[in-house]
């Protein structure tokens, strides 16, 4: 099976760029994390609101709430594709860091994704 790369772009040959299955899973995770709830017309409950924290005060309480929100969103929308092993959201200085460890169910391959989101101190 061939997966279309996200965001959509053309490859060197002028064709639709493709992604490996592991890259496709990571792209789906990023899409879920960076989509605001209500942003999609046909799926208003899709997303987890991580980008809403860019202009919010950065505090451990926000990180703890995001930890629960991210875990629930991944379980709901990607639970048939990956199995979570760890989700850690930390607030330090003006950075919000999200660490996700998971196992790809189709291949049993472990993978990790770490993202830093700038915030307001």
Contact 50, 98 (CB under 8 A): yes
- The 10s digit of each residue's pLDDT in 43-53 is 988 988 787 77
pLDDT band at 5 (very low <50, low <70, confident <90, very high): confident
- The phi and psi torsions of 116 (rounded to 5 degrees) equal -110, 130
- Exposure of 53 in the CB half-sphere (CA atoms within 13 A): 31
Q: Count of domains in the chain?
A: 1
CATH code, 85: 3.10.450.40
For residue 71, the enclosing domain spans 3-118
- The 10s digit of each residue's pLDDT in 25-73 is 999 999 999 888 888 889 988 988 787 776 677 778 888 888 999 999 9
Residue 13 has a pLDDT of 92
Contact 115, 26 (CB under 8 A): no
């Amino acid at each position: 099976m061939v997966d279309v790369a996200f965001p959509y772009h053309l490859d060197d040959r002028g064709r639709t760029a493709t992604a490996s299955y592991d890259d496709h899973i990571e792209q789906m995770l990023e899409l879920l994390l960076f989509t605001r709830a209500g942003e999609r017309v046909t799926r208003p409950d899709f997303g987890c609101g991580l980008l809403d924290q860019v202009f919010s005060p950065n505090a451990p309480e926000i990180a703890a709430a995001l930890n629960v929100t991210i875990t629930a969103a991944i379980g709901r929308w990607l639970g048939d594709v990956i199995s979570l092993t760890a989700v850690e959201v930390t607030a330090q200085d003006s950075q919000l860091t999200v660490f996700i460890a998971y196992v790809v169910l189709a291949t049993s391959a472990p993978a990790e994704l770490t993202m830093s989101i700038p915030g307001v101190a």
